Amino acid sequence: MPPTDHERHRRFLRSFTAHEPAIRAHVRRLVPARADADDIMQEISVVLWEKFDSLAEGADFKPWAFGVARYEVLAWLRDRGRDRLVLDEEVVSKIAEETTALEPVLERQREALEHCMQKVPADQRGLLMQAYQPESSIQEVAQNSGRSVPGFYQWLHRMRQKLLECIRRVLAEEAAS
């Protein structure tokens, strides 16, 4: 018995929600501006839904979604072909192939970062998240933290170093087990 529309919709939402950060990161590696990646992600989500029936039952959603994302980025590039700041299609295809191959490593790094972020005290984690929000102002975040801008940058540098050390430790433990 074929799945109902409701079941199909639920299956799509579960898959898309689980893999949306990886798909967005993949697109972000292929286009220079976050705003462009946001626009392309909107198109990708529509195309993924429209073509979801072509994905075989039990097939891996993420590689399929990466393929769709690649074609949507190439279509976006064609539309902006006259813009000298846009990469050549061959370059984007090569980057897409290489980043797709690296995706398992990047996924483990993202998971390690998530694990390490949970170890950061909530108030400091909040400041980190504010600092990396699109359109955020470091001056405002620094002021909200009670630090000067240079002091905040020093704190941010130390936090990034701690997170990097934590990520390396988690990945090394994972490799050793």
**How many CB atoms are closer than 10 A to CB 31?**
20
Can you list the residues of the chain whose pLDDT is less than 50?
A: none
Does residue 64 form part of some domain? yes
Give residue 82's pLDDT: 63
Domain identity same for 88 and 150: no
Domain identity same for 137 and 77: no
| CATH code, 91 | 1.10.1740.10
At which residue do the structure tokens 């398992």 appear? 104
Give residue 24's pLDDT: 92
Domain identity same for 90 and 167: no
Give residue 84's pLDDT: 60
Domain identity same for 76 and 135: no
At which residue do the structure tokens 């190439």 appear? 74
Give residue 79's pLDDT: 82
Domain identity same for 124 and 93: no
Residue 154 Cα distances to 44, 105, 147, 159, angstroms: 38, 29, 10, 9
Domain identity same for 88 and 29: yes
Give residue 50's pLDDT: 94
Does residue 110 form part of some domain? no
Secondary structure class of 60 (helix, strand, coil): coil
Length of the chain: 177
Question: For the chain, how many structural domains are there in total?
Answer: 2
Domain that holds residue 149: 120-176
Does residue 48 form part of some domain? yes
Global confidence as pTM: 0.61
Domain identity same for 139 and 94: no
Assign 3-class secondary structure to 75-134.
HHHHHCCCCCCCCCHHHHHHHHHHHHHHHHHHHHHHHHHHHHHHHCCHHHHHHHHHHCCC
Does residue 111 form part of some domain? no
